Amino acid sequence: QVQVVESGGGLVQAEGSLRLSCAASGSIFSISGMHWFRQVPGKQRELVASINKDGSTIYADSVKGRFTISRDNAKNTVYLQMNSLKPEDTAVYYCNVFLAPVGLGYRNYWGQGTQVTVSS
């Protein structure tokens, strides 16, 4: 059984920083892409940042230059360093991991979400 668990959300003032973590655990054979999404009530979930197994990254335009995604393959963990936070970054942040459990094919796993609130 595979679990994906996020941590690190919270309340921060504008221009502050937070670091989110997301760890995949269980019977994992291989991990491909790891991603961070966010969602605010009434809006679609949007991609914030992605990192492939080779370390290549992509970012939403709204976070470029402020957020940094990274991963530790030995720990099956992905991070999102968020700097210069703005009130419009307030959302529930979700981790998504594309991985193959032992004996099975690749599939998406979602974390439970972690709230990030940025006050002005």
Return the pLDDT at 91: 98
- pLDDT at position 98: 98
Q: What pLDDT score does 56 carry?
A: 97
pLDDT in tens, 52-107: 999 999 999 999 999 999 999 999 999 999 999 999 999 999 999 999 999 999 99
Q: How many CB atoms lie within 10 A of CB 3?
A: 12
Residue 91 β-bridge partners: 116
Q: What is the three-class DSSP state of 89?
A: helix
How confident is the model at residue 43, as a pLDDT? 96
